[in-house]
Amino acid sequence: MKKIVSNSIDWLDHRTGIKEVLREALYERVPGGARWRYVWGSALVVAFVTQVITGIFLWMAYSPSTQTAWESVYYIQHEMNGGWLLRGIHHFMASAMVVLLAIHFVQIVWDGAYRAPRELNFVLGLVLMLIVLGLSLTGYLLPWDQKGYWATNVGTELASQTPMAGGAIKKLAVGGSSYGHHTLTRFFALHAGVLPGALVAFLVLHLWLFRRHGLTPKEPRAGPDVLFWPDQVLKDSVAALGILVAVMGVVVYTGGAELTAPADPANNYAAARPEWYFLFLFQFLKWFPGELEVWGAFVIPGLIVGVLFLMPWIGRSRVGHFFNVALLAVLLGGAAMLTVQAIQDDTLAGSADAKFEESGLTATPENEAAFNASREFLRAKRDALHHAERVVDLAKTKGIPPTGALTLVYEDPYLQGPKLFAQNCASCHSYVDRDQPDPAIAFLVNEKPTAPNLFGVGSRKWIEGLLDPKQVAGPDYFGYEGSPFAGEGENTEMVLFVQDDCFGGVLNDAKRAEIKGALKKIAAALSCEATLPLQREQDAQDTAMIAEGRVLIEGGLADLLESGTSCTDCHSFGAQQDIGSPVLDGYMSRQWMIDFLRNPADERFYGDLNDRMPAFAPHDNPQLNQLDDQTLGLIVDWLRGDWVRAKPQAAGDAGNH
Amino acid sequence: MAEMKQDSQADISNAGKNRRSFIAILAGGLAMLGPIGAGILSFLSPLFRKAASPQVRVALLDQVPDDGRPYFFRVVADRQDAWTSYSQQKVGAVYLVRQPGDELPVAFTAKCPHAGCSVGYSAEEQKFKCPCHTSSFNIDGCRVNGDKEVSPRDMDTLEVVLNQVAASDSESVTEVLVTFVDYKTGHSEKILSE
């Protein structure tokens, strides 16, 4: 057996010279014996090989286009077996590589290993470092999520400020005048083709020169020289395994690399930050006001990199070497300081709901501005996290359409509702649950509402409030500022009906309870008209009560009240048609609400009695309307709690977001 | 004599060698030039395309009350992205502010003149604030701290035109049209991106 193997090797060696190559590769002399401090260079090679392996497998599942990039990464992350692990290793090994680079670099400078005849190898090493940073920059964009998109956007904007050729550089990087398919195809070609290719080429040169000059031994030597194989290889392999275990630990601990919501050019991500090892550059820019930006972005970083390239020549003398070491200490210390500062700036407020008055900071305008900026960042981060989870839930439950995941975002009432409400409704209406004590829920509170509170609109609870004499003239219903429907207003019939017709005069407790019970049934019947998805089960259970309620609305209530009036004395409903408005058939149903938003002054609704509510879409031609059908539908669906739910939610959760 | 002959032969062969080397390099180089040239030509194609700067309807005038407060609108326009034609895609955002008594709103692009992040509006502080490098602007678009601000210039305004459209015989609506263009970041003057 042994003979067959040995013969085969000989056969191969005669034709390829493999033995000589292996001897060259493995039997390198390690002066002074194998040492742990020599492992960093090979650790970097192993890290790079890890990136190549994981990168190729990611490549097999990744598709660079604006409709497929996020979508394919989502699929890797959330659907493919072990996809999260694969992507996690690739992501965190990239970070590890930057740390390893820093260690390798510090060691070389500290040991003066750049001195003659190794100058060129040092230069090659720096080129390799720049390539690795380039890989990191280009890789950050590829998931095409909000974080990568907006952070890279700043990067290419800065590139456009390059003196002379900035505009052209940006266009070539972006592949056009704005971000799109070709930004992805170009970044991907750089990330998976050009830069790794260049890295391999420079790495071969780097290793070739390294072998030519041998490693720089650390004096005093610990023992006799040994050969690279197996002593040093053993240490290198153990180190490689250690690094991989550490990276895997981080991947498992964090659950893998982050994937924020799909990139949206029309919706800024206010918490966009570069990857942690570029934070110092991000922070550095804050120091350069106005047109001095170019100094912060190009001139100073460019000069520093220039000096790094000259280190071997500067370091020829003892003083020069000392200068290099000192410079490196200052640069690393400065970068660390800026990084800490950037993190501190962003986390100053402590939490997204913190109040400046409670922060303990001195009340100066600067402090307040810094505090607010930090709180905005933390809010954006919280919202973005929430947003991302929602998109993933949607992708899992509804599936991603061919137009991409952004369609899911824009067609989701849960995500769009609060924004559209804030933009179109919140200047008059509030959306807040007064009974909900949880301050973490982002309600939209109008301090001086000039229209009703729309939280839970159409629900039994909401209609019961409307029919409650204590609430009907309150700020959440008709008692808002300047209301014509309450107090001194001109059209107070509804409020008076509830307060006086139903509960006015002297009523004994039994009568009061009877009327209350009747109004509860009316609320149930009316609310059933809304066909709210969250109330579907309740409506199906309470058919008897709802039927009674309908009878009461259609005139039955008149028998209970001294005034002898009921809902259908003013409103059309059921069998009682052509009486008046707002019409109660289909009250607060999807179509009723959309029609109402289109034109509240329509005779089906408030007619001439309409207060200040604008007609958002009164015309057939959409071009003439303030809001289009889709927007109206989204607002209405959100108000009605009608959106896709990943897990069944309780009715009370309608306002949670 | 024999030595001379040898030398001249060496010269001839060297001369031939040089010529062959030269032609070899030239031919090989030319052979590579074709694919490289074709590649570079297509790689540079973005430089030969102009960005569209459409006039876009962003709102109806009714949606911008003259209360001096900024209103946020998405810019929706047709867009060509390489092979995909989008009709009515959200391509950016603007703030419209109408001062009391004014008919014409002012339009600010949401893109920060510093490094291109999207500027947000804080109703609490009544300021536009960039989430990236701390630029902040007053409601009129001026930098809060003047030249000490990281932004090299005030917020960029866009050209606004009002357009009356007849909705029926008796009534008409007024559209707000904005010329949605992109300005270069990092300069103290407004320079149009090509």
| Domain range summary for chain B, segments of one domain joined by + | 2-45, 55-179
Contact B63 A158 (CB under 8 A): no
Contact A157 B62 (CB under 8 A): no
**A182 vs B contacts (CB less than 8 Å):** 46, 82
pLDDT for B118: 86
Q: Which residue of A has its CA nearest to B62?
A: A626
Shortest distance between the Cα of B180 and any Cα of chain A, in A, equals 13
| Residue in A281, A291, A419, A628 to test binding to B, most B beta-carbons within 10 Å | A291
In sequence order, the 6+-apart residues with CB closer than 8 A to the CB of A259 are A70, A73, A74, A77, A143, A145, A388, A392
Three-state SS at A411: coil
* Pairs of residues, one from chain A and one from chain B, whose beta carbons lie less than 8 Å apart: 158
Q: Which residue of A has its CA nearest to B89?
A: A266
pLDDT for B6: 55
Rounded to an integer, what is the distance from CA A421 to the centroid of its chain?
21
Q: Which residue of A has its CA nearest to B61?
A: A626
What whole-number distance in Å separates Cα of residue B128 and Cα of residue B190? 19
For residue A288, give the nearest of B60, B118, B150 by CB distance.
Answer: B150
- Written as one letter, the residue type at A117 is P
Q: Please, are residues B147 and A290 in contact by the beta-carbon 8 Å criterion?
A: yes
Contact B92 A266 (CB under 8 A): yes
DSSP class of residue A17 equals -
Token reading at A28: 């390198």
Give, to the nearest 10 degrees, the angle between helix A233-254 and helix A39-59. Answer: 50
Q: Please, are residues A500 and A424 in contact by the beta-carbon 8 Å criterion?
A: no
What whole-number distance in Å separates Cα of residue A145 and Cα of residue A153? 12
Flag whether pLDDT at A413 surpasses 90.
yes
Mean pLDDT of A129-157: 95
Rounded to an integer, what is the distance from CA A38 to the centroid of its chain?
41
Contact A158 B62 (CB under 8 A): no
Element (H, E) at A226: strand A226-227
For residue A626, give the nearest of B63, B92, B152 by CB distance.
Answer: B63
Query: Using one digit for the tens of pLDDT, what is the confidence trace for B98-108?
Result: 999 999 999 99
Query: Using one digit for the tens of pLDDT, what is the confidence trace for A269-313?
Result: 888 899 999 999 999 999 998 888 889 989 999 999 999 999 999
Contact B131 A380 (CB under 8 A): yes
Contact A285 B71 (CB under 8 A): no
Flag whether pLDDT at B175 surpasses 90.
yes
**B60 vs A contacts (CB less than 8 Å):** 624-626
Three-state SS at A11: helix
Flag whether pLDDT at B8 surpasses 90.
no
Residue B158 — very low, low, confident or very high, per pLDDT cuts 50/70/90? Answer: very high
For residue A181, give the nearest of B83, B122, B186 by CB distance.
Answer: B83
Token reading at A87: 């992507």
Contact A423 B71 (CB under 8 A): yes
Query: Using one digit for the tens of pLDDT, what is the confidence trace for A473-498?
Result: 999 999 998 899 998 888 999 999 99
| Residue in B75, B117, B127 to test binding to A, most A beta-carbons within 10 Å | B117
Query: SS3 sequence, chain B?
Result: CHHHHHHHHHHHHHHHHHHHHHHHHHHHHHHHHHHHHHHHHHHCHHHHCCCCCCEEEEEEHHHCCCCCCEEEEEEEEEEEECCEEEEEEEEEEEEEECCCCCCCCEEEECECCCCCCECEEECCCCEEECCCCCCEECCCCCECCHHHCCCCCCCCEECEEEEEEECCCCCEEEEEEEECCCECCCCCCCCECC
Residue B7 — very low, low, confident or very high, per pLDDT cuts 50/70/90? Answer: low
- Written as one letter, the residue type at A250 is V
Q: What is the mean pLDDT of chain B?
A: 87
**B152 vs A contacts (CB less than 8 Å):** 289-291, 293
Shortest distance between the Cα of A480 and any Cα of chain B, in A, equals 21
pLDDT for A548: 96
Q: Which residue of B has its CA nearest to A274?
A: B132
DSSP class of residue A263 equals P
Residue B3 — very low, low, confident or very high, per pLDDT cuts 50/70/90? Answer: low
Contact B117 A171 (CB under 8 A): no
The sign of the CA dihedral A22, A24, A25, A27 is: positive
Shortest distance between the Cα of B47 and any Cα of chain A, in A, equals 6
Residue A652 — very low, low, confident or very high, per pLDDT cuts 50/70/90? Answer: very low
Q: Which residue of A has its CA nearest to B49?
A: A176
Query: Using one digit for the tens of pLDDT, what is the confidence trace for A175-197?
Result: 988 899 999 999 999 999 999 99
Shortest distance between the Cα of A187 and any Cα of chain B, in A, equals 13
In sequence order, the 6+-apart residues with CB closer than 8 A to the CB of A417 are A634, A635, A637, A638, A639, A643, A657
What whole-number distance in Å separates Cα of residue A491 and Cα of residue A310? 84
What whole-number distance in Å separates Cα of residue A617 and Cα of residue A597? 7
Query: Which residues make beta-bridge pairs with B74?
Result: B93
pLDDT for A656: 38
Mean pLDDT of B185-192: 90
**A286 vs B contacts (CB less than 8 Å):** 133-134, 150
Element (H, E) at A150: helix A146-159
Shortest distance between the Cα of A374 and any Cα of chain B, in A, equals 9
What whole-number distance in Å separates Cα of residue A280 and Cα of residue A297? 11
Contact A182 B82 (CB under 8 A): yes
Q: Which residue of A has its CA nearest to B73?
A: A423
**A267 vs B contacts (CB less than 8 Å):** 90, 93
Residue B168 — very low, low, confident or very high, per pLDDT cuts 50/70/90? Answer: confident
Contact A160 B186 (CB under 8 A): yes
Closest by Cα among B123, B61, B92 to A444: B123
For residue A176, give the nearest of B46, B75, B122 by CB distance.
Answer: B46
Flag whether pLDDT at B10 surpasses 90.
no
Q: Please, are residues A48 and A100 in contact by the beta-carbon 8 Å criterion?
A: no
pLDDT for A440: 45
pLDDT for B171: 82
Element (H, E) at A632: helix A629-639
User: pLDDT over 70 for what percent of chain A?
Assistant: 97
Flag whether pLDDT at A329 surpasses 60.
yes
- Written as one letter, the residue type at A642 is D
For residue B188, give the nearest of A290, A410, A625 by CB distance.
Answer: A290
Distances (CA, A) of A638 to A524, A584, A593, A648: 21, 21, 12, 16
Q: Is the confidence metric ipTM above 0.95 for this complex? A: no
How far apart, in Å, do the first and last CA atoms of chain B sit? 73
pLDDT for A651: 42
**B171 vs A contacts (CB less than 8 Å):** none
Query: Using one digit for the tens of pLDDT, what is the confidence trace for A28-66?
Result: 888 888 889 999 999 999 999 999 999 999 999 999 999
- Residue ranges of alpha helices (H) inside A34-82 are 39-59, 69-78
What whole-number distance in Å separates Cα of residue A248 and Cα of residue A158? 34
For residue B60, give the nearest of A67, A290, A626 by CB distance.
Answer: A626
What whole-number distance in Å separates Cα of residue A644 and Cα of residue A533? 10
Shortest distance between the Cα of B188 and any Cα of chain A, in A, equals 6
**A175 vs B contacts (CB less than 8 Å):** 46, 82
Shortest distance between the Cα of B25 and any Cα of chain A, in A, equals 22
**A289 vs B contacts (CB less than 8 Å):** 147-150, 152
| Residue in A147, A268, A355, A368 to test binding to B, most B beta-carbons within 10 Å | A268
**B93 vs A contacts (CB less than 8 Å):** 266-268
Q: Please, are residues A325 and A109 in contact by the beta-carbon 8 Å criterion?
A: yes
Given the DSSP bridges, would you call strands B127-129 and B136-137 parallel, antiparallel or unpaired? antiparallel
pLDDT for B13: 62
Three-state SS at A86: helix
Contact B186 A158 (CB under 8 A): yes
Flag whether pLDDT at A654 surpasses 50.
no
Q: What is the mean pLDDT of chain A?
A: 92
Query: Which residues make beta-bridge pairs with B59?
Result: B176
Number of Cβ within 10 Å of residue B160's Cβ equals 18
What whole-number distance in Å separates Cα of residue A473 and Cα of residue A623? 38
Contact A282 B115 (CB under 8 A): no
Contact A266 B91 (CB under 8 A): yes
Name the CATH code of domain B55-179 (choices 3.40.50.720, 3.90.400.10, 3.30.420.40, 2.102.10.10): 2.102.10.10
Contact A158 B125 (CB under 8 A): no
Query: Using one digit for the tens of pLDDT, what is the confidence trace for A515-531?
Result: 999 999 999 999 999 99
Query: Using one digit for the tens of pLDDT, what is the confidence trace for A637-651?
Result: 999 999 998 764 444
The sign of the CA dihedral A129, A130, A132, A136 is: positive
For residue B152, give the nearest of A172, A285, A293 by CB distance.
Answer: A293
User: pLDDT over 90 for what percent of chain A?
Assistant: 72
Q: Please, are residues A209 and A124 in contact by the beta-carbon 8 Å criterion?
A: yes
pLDDT for A238: 97
Three-state SS at A164: coil
In sequence order, the 6+-apart residues with CB closer than 8 A to the CB of A576 are A554, A555, A568
Look at the block and give the residue holding tokens 């197996």. A230
Closest by Cα among B60, B168, B103 to A619: B168
* Least confident window among A284-288, A341-345, A364-368, A649-653: A649-653
Three-state SS at A453: coil
